């Protein structure tokens, strides 16, 4: 996904990631206020800066196949630890 490709898309309510995706680019879902729930596949190991910033209705992000510690160490596109990628309430992050 190209960084910022869904920026401000208020009508986006659901996202299904391909099992082959490894990176979620920066700002890709910036201000997508329609998003409430996201499930991130286990092979994602990079999440860009502020990828979910402004997603004010996002109440649940589930990481498949990761421990909470692994989620804490997911890096951004530049290799920096940038947890929680624009998310203001880390309690919405779950692992499965």
- Residues 67-89 have pLDDT tens digits of 988 888 887 777 777 677 888 88
Per-residue pLDDT tens over the stretch 15-40: 889 889 999 988 999 999 999 999 99
Per-residue pLDDT tens over the stretch 32-65: 999 999 999 999 989 988 899 999 999 999 999 9
Query: Taking 80 as the threshold, does the pLDDT of residue 3 lie above it?
Result: no
Task: Name the pLDDT band for 4 (thresholds 50, 70, 90).
Answer: low
What is the distance between the alpha carbons of residues 2 and 77, in angstroms, rounded to a whole number?
12
pLDDT at 63: 93
Domains in the chain: ranges and CATH: 1-96 (3.80.10.10)
Residues 6+ apart with CB under 8 A from 77: 3, 23, 25, 26, 46, 48, 49
Who wins on pLDDT, 90 or 94? Answer: 94
Q: Which of 41, 46, 51, 32 is nearest to 79 (CA)?
A: 46
């Amino acid at each position: 996904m190209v960084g910022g490709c869904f920026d401000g898309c208020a009508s986006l309510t659901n996202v299904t990631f391909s099992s082959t995706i490894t990176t979620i680019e920066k700002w890709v879902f910036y201000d997508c206020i329609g998003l409430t729930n996201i499930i991130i596949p286990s092979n994602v190991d990079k999440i860009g800066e502020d990828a979910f910033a402004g997603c004010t209705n996002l109440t649940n992000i589930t990481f498949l196949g990761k421990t909470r510690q692994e989620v804490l160490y997911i890096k951004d596109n530049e290799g920096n630890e940038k947890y929680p990628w624009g998310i203001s309430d880390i309690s919405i992050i779950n692992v499965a």
